[in-house]
Amino acid sequence: GQKAAAVASKDRWNKSGKFSSPIATEITPASTFYRAEEYHQRYLEKQGLASCHIR
């Protein structure tokens, strides 16, 4: 399932040698999902932005 895929992905990245420390992200069961209000949906597209510029 999804947990097995997430654990396998984390293990592959940890074994890849691309990071100086092991990945610390916990893989936990999903909790209740709340859909954002309509004004948050497709925000970048509505603002005329091609992509997010977070670095």
Tens-digit pLDDT profile for residues 45-55: 888 887 766 66
pLDDT in tens, the chain (55 residues): 999 999 999 999 999 999 999 999 999 998 999 998 998 888 888 888 877 666 6
Q: What global pTM score does this model have?
A: 0.58
Q: Which of 9, 31, 27 is nearest to 18 (CA)?
A: 9
pLDDT of residue 9: 97
Q: What percent of the chain has pLDDT over 90?
A: 62
Question: Identity (one letter) of the amino acid at 39?
Answer: Y
